[in-house]
Amino acid sequence: MRISTIAAVATNGVIGKDNDLVWSLPTDMRFFMDTTAGHVVITGRKNYESIPEKYRPLKGRTNIVITRNKDYKAEGAIVVHDLRDALDKAHALGETECFIIGGGQIYKQALVGNMVDTQYITHVEAAPEGDAFYPNDAWKGWGAEELRTHNADDKHDHAYVIKRYERPSE
C-alpha cells in the first residue's frame, strides 16, 4: 500500500491556525477532493474536528481518526489510537493508496518515521501566521513532478504550485 501525504503549505511551513485554514484556494480544495476520492484518509482528531460538521466524515472516503482519547467517537469514521494502527486498518481494508491529511503532528510522525512514499504538496506563495506546520523541507531530495499552477485571483487568495514528490529509491 502506498502511503501519501497531501497538504497545502505556505512558504514559511504554515498549514493552519486555530484549527482552521489560513486561505481560500477552491481549486486546490477540488484537487484534494479529487485526489483522495475513493481512498482512506487518515487524520488527527483536531484536524478532523476542524472540518465543518456538515462535511464530516469526508464523503466517498473511509475516514480514520487518530486520538489518544480512548472514549472518542466519530460517527461514520474509524477511531484508532496511533498512526501505525491507522495504517494497518487502511491496509486491512485493501487500500492501495491511503492519504494522511493532517494535522502537523501526524505529518511529522509519518515523515520522521519514514512511512511516506509520496507527498502531494500545494506550495502556497504566502507566509501567514499560524500554529500548525508541515515538517520543514520534508520533500528535500525527493523526485518532484509539477502537476499544476494557479495564480491568485478574485477566488484564490494566493498563487500556488501543486507538486507530487516521490521518495527516492534506495
Reported in sequence order, the residue ranges of the chain that DSSP labels E, i.e. its strands, are 2-10, 14-16, 40-44, 62-66, 78-80, 97-100, 118-124, 132-133, 143-150, 160-166
For residue 104, the SS3 value is helix
> What's the pLDDT band for 6 if we cut at 50, 70, 90?
very high
**57: CATH:** 3.40.430.10
Under 8 Å CB-to-CB from 34, ≥6 apart: which residues? none
Q: Per residue in 128-169, pLDDT tens?
A: 999 999 999 899 999 999 999 999 999 999 999 999 999 998
pLDDT > 80? residue 170: no
Closest of 54, 51, 11 to residue 32, by C-alpha: 51
Q: Name the DSSP letter for residue 112.
A: H
How confident is the model at residue 114, as a pLDDT?
95
Number of Cβ within 10 Å of residue 33's Cβ equals 13
Cell of 5: 501525504
> How far apart, in whole angstroms, are the C-alpha atoms of residue 109 and residue 33?
23
Enclosing H/E stretch for 166: strand 160-166
Whole-model pTM: value is: 0.96
The total number of structural domains that make up the chain: 1
What are 7-57's pLDDT values in tens digits?
Answer: 999 999 999 999 999 999 999 999 999 999 999 999 999 999 999 999 999
Domain span holding position 43: 2-166
- What confidence tier does 58 reach under pLDDT thresholds 50, 70, 90? very high
Task: Indicate whether 88 pLDDT > 80.
Answer: yes
- pLDDT of 166 reads 98
| Planar angle of CA 63, 65, 70, nearest 5 degrees | 140
